[in-house]
Amino acid sequence: MAKTYSKNGIKQEIVGKLRRHFSREVTEANAKQIYLACAMVIRDELVERMMEAQAKIKENEERQVHYLCMEFLIGRSLRNNAFNLGMQEALEGALADLGYEVADIFEVEDDPGLGNGGLGRLAACYMDSMATLGMAGNGYSIRYENGIFRQKIENGAQIEQPDTWLETGAAWQIPAMDDAREVRIGGAVKTRWEDGRLVVEHTDYTPVIAVPYDMPISGYNTENIARLRLWQAKSPIALDMEAFSRGDYLKAVEKVAMAESISKVLYPEDNHLAGQSLRLKQQYFLVSATIQDICAKHKARYGTLQNFAEKNVLHINDTHPALVIPELMRILMDEEGMSWEMAWNNVSQSVAYTNHTVMPEALECWPTDLVQAHMPRVMMIINEINERYCKELWNYYPGDFDRISKLAIVADGQVRMANLAVVGSFSVNGVSELHSGILREKVFSDLFRVYSTKFCNVTNGIALRRWLCEANPELTELIRSKIGNGFITHPSELQVLSNFGSDPKLLRQLKQIKDHNKQRLAAYIAEHNKIEVNLDSIFDVQVKRLHEYKRQMLNILHVMAMYHQIKKNPSAPLVPRTIIFGSKAAPGYAAAKKTIQLIHSIANMVNHDPDVGDKLKVVFIEDYRVSLAELIMPAAELSEQISLAGKEASGTGNMKFMMNGALTIGTMDGANIEICQAVGPENIFIFGMETPEAEALAASGAYCARDYYNANPVLKDVLDHIRRGFGDHVDYNDVVAGLIDGGPGRTDRFMICKDFESYCLAQERVAQMYQRPENWNYMSLINIANSGRFAADRAVAEYAQNIWRVHTNFAY
């Protein structure tokens, strides 16, 4: 039974931790020590429960889900765990008695930045749901010493600073030294036949020790705990003694540094292939340590690996961990002596693959030389998989060499990870209806003909407890008072809220809560940006990674259009807006960084123009991350989801906004389509081309952005102004040139100019609707009421039922 926590009990435990671990009395302790003491108190409870959960899995011989992902953007843990364990109130009281505001202590915790954006956040939301749904869930990733960089803005430009999350983050992790595994990188492989068996000898490799650190992941109102295992790379030797005794000190530490560099830093590219050799080593490091670990545990439990697929699912979140396929083959054959066929059966019935992007620059292809150099045995196995598979393809496409070489896993000196993932898994899914359709019909259309039964869809979802209950307690309380507590674990019950659409009091309360949340965000902006925003303005928000396909540029062009409108006629009535951006750009992505600079140049002009006053403000919030998203989402009124149709696989930011009552302005892309279906087209602002039109136009090669510039005086004025610059010595010629200078099919890859007019018209509709608060608030209510289907609980229950074939306690 769930333990209940008293204020005094917790207080005593905090005091005890402070004395024993920091030798401080409460009166002498600083906020960080208080935070760490709180974390230790809660961790004690989590660890005990995790041990019980792990013991139960073993006893029940349940099929386990192993979720492999290079990123887990988990966000802060203290409030989340306190909330899930039902001890938030007791903790709050205890801290108040000790003279602290609970909110200030939460703020001490750094965001563990072990991810870039949507992909990593999704993995974290799913861990929460796996725990809550009573599943035997295990996540695996890398314990990056430096997570995603911290973003500072200096003179309008992004500066990257290292992230030192471990100072406060390590408090939630338990090292499990006895589960350390050796990963072998590089070296040479020799094979020979002995008694009809292939013997593989791997020599001259560099051993790297993978040390696991376990994070217990709590679920809501359950004893069950999921486990996130983060591997850290350690050198097996402290020093190269031979070099050391020669007096070559640098050489002596070099080997150690090489090994340990593997878990030093997260690659900051989102939806883009990094391509560096160290990244490949990271992928193999994660995969090899994880598979060895799972196999060792399995063998200890069952005495054999023959029933591996029956008891384990290996879920690969995008292709980054796709080396699980050859690595598990290696262990089953080389170490267990299984035949190819039996090993392949186990592999291809335990691996499931989720694709996350259709952007060609994000589809992973590794040079075969690199794979060969770092993991020679794995390369041999990939070649063998490829040969057998190409033979099979011959039956489907006899004589069609072109098609077969296009579908091959190894070709043109590259290993195509997506093809490997499709071939080696029993399930392939996309993350929204639209995206899964594009996978079937475009990206994998030829493979779909061969493996049609593998393909399915699971639309993404978000952790309702974190994104609604914790981030927006006032709204949660209002919902509770109307429909009870059930929605917290049965998200579809939110639907009942739509019965209150004609309750004017409720609609007013919704608006009041939104206003409170706007005030909180405004206070943050006043402190950090030194900008006073107009609380009566529309909080119009675009927060997400900076990427050309996400089209922050389209938003900026509209801001410029509004600015010109004001300048032309300063006294004309205008619905005031605060445009809020938050976004990191990959450090090597010049166009994205330039966009950040442009936002700042424009903000500087707009925010200081007396003609503008409080009609328009542009705010860039530095260092967008999970904890800031928790502040921003509840305060947002308009959610900008304006990617070019066909490019955003799903989006999850769109779901967080919706659940907090923001209305969406968006294209028919990713999960926006399903949001539109859920709320009805009258409760969302849709604009722009749809996917078929966008794809046909791109394919025709005839798209000419300059035609739109010539035809639309508003767009022309905006682009001309940007070209002239803002008197701040930053040259934006390249930005405008990238949009309109150059012939048809050569510029404006994401067709911003084409969708500009339709976007401006949709923004007009937004402004008009905002002037009718009853209607706006009603639309907001309908969005909240229909957001239940975008809860991660629903998504994880679908994975469990349709893909993983494991039981959950989710009730639809």
- Which residues are part of the catalytic machinery? 356, 544-545, 550, 652, 656
Pattern of binders to ligand PLP over 535-564, x per CB under 6 A?
---------xx-------------------
148 versus 331: smaller Cβ distance to ligand PLP: 148
DSSP 745-812: TSS-TT-HHHHHHHHHHHHHHHHHHHT-HHHHHHHHHHHHHT-GGGBHHHHHHHIIIIII--------
With beta carbons less than 8 A apart as the criterion, state whether 646 and 694 touch: yes
Task: Please state the closest distance from residue 408 (CB atom) to ligand PLP, in A.
Answer: 32
d(CA 12, CA 6): 10
282 versus 641: smaller Cβ distance to ligand PLP: 641
454 versus 545: smaller Cβ distance to ligand PLP: 545
Q: Which of residues 434-473 bind ligand PLP (CB under 6 A)?
A: none
Task: Please state the closest distance from residue 435 (CB atom) to ligand PLP, in A.
Answer: 12
* 435-441 contact pairs (CB < 8 A, 24+): 435/355, 435/358, 435/649, 435/650, 435/670, 438/358, 438/646, 438/691, 439/355, 439/358
d(CA 515, CA 509): 10
29 versus 579: smaller Cβ distance to ligand PLP: 579
Q: Which of residues 655-684 bind ligand PLP (CB under 6 A)?
A: 656
Judged by CB under 6 A, the residue of 625, 754, 789, 794 near ligand PLP is 625
With beta carbons less than 8 A apart as the criterion, state whether 519 and 539 touch: no
Q: Which two tokens stand for residue 298?
A: 């399995």
Judged by CB under 6 A, the residue of 132, 168, 283, 652 near ligand PLP is 652
Reference 283, options 319, 331, 321; nearest CA is: 321
Candidates 311-319, 442-450, 622-630, 771-779: pick the segment binding ligand PLP (CB under 6 A): 622-630
Judged by CB under 6 A, the residue of 137, 216, 653, 688 near ligand PLP is 653
Q: Which residues of 362-383 are buried (b: 16+ CB within 10 A; e: fewer)?
A: bbbbbebebbbebbbbbbbbbb
545 versus 647: smaller Cβ distance to ligand PLP: 545
With beta carbons less than 8 A apart as the criterion, state whether 90 and 7 touch: yes
118 versus 326: smaller Cβ distance to ligand PLP: 118
Task: Please state the closest distance from residue 520 (CB atom) to ligand PLP, in A.
Answer: 17
Q: Which two tokens stand for residue 108?
A: 């001490």
Count the site residues for ligand PLP by CB under 6 A.
13
Pattern of binders to ligand PLP over 109-148, x per CB under 6 A?
--------xx--x---------------------------
Q: Which of residues 208-237 bind ligand PLP (CB under 6 A)?
A: none
d(CA 214, CA 143): 10
End-to-end Cα distance, the chain? 24
Reference 740, options 748, 729, 732; nearest CA is: 748
Cβ neighbours of residue 341 under 8 Å, at least 6 residues apart? none
In Å, how far from its chain's centre is CA 277? 23
* Residue with smallest beta-carbon separation from ligand PLP: 653
Task: Please state the closest distance from residue 540 (CB atom) to ligand PLP, in A.
Answer: 15
Judged by CB under 6 A, the residue of 417, 513, 580, 629 near ligand PLP is 629
118 versus 137: smaller Cβ distance to ligand PLP: 118
With beta carbons less than 8 A apart as the criterion, state whether 806 and 63 touch: yes
Task: Please state the closest distance from residue 695 (CB atom) to ligand PLP, in A.
Answer: 21
Interface with ligand PLP, residue 66, by CB under 6 A: no
Task: Please state the closest distance from residue 691 (CB atom) to ligand PLP, in A.
Answer: 18
Q: Which of residues 485-544 bind ligand PLP (CB under 6 A)?
A: 544
d(CA 530, CA 52): 50
Binding residues for ligand PLP, rule: CB under 6 A, are 117-118, 121, 544-545, 624-626, 629, 651-653, 656
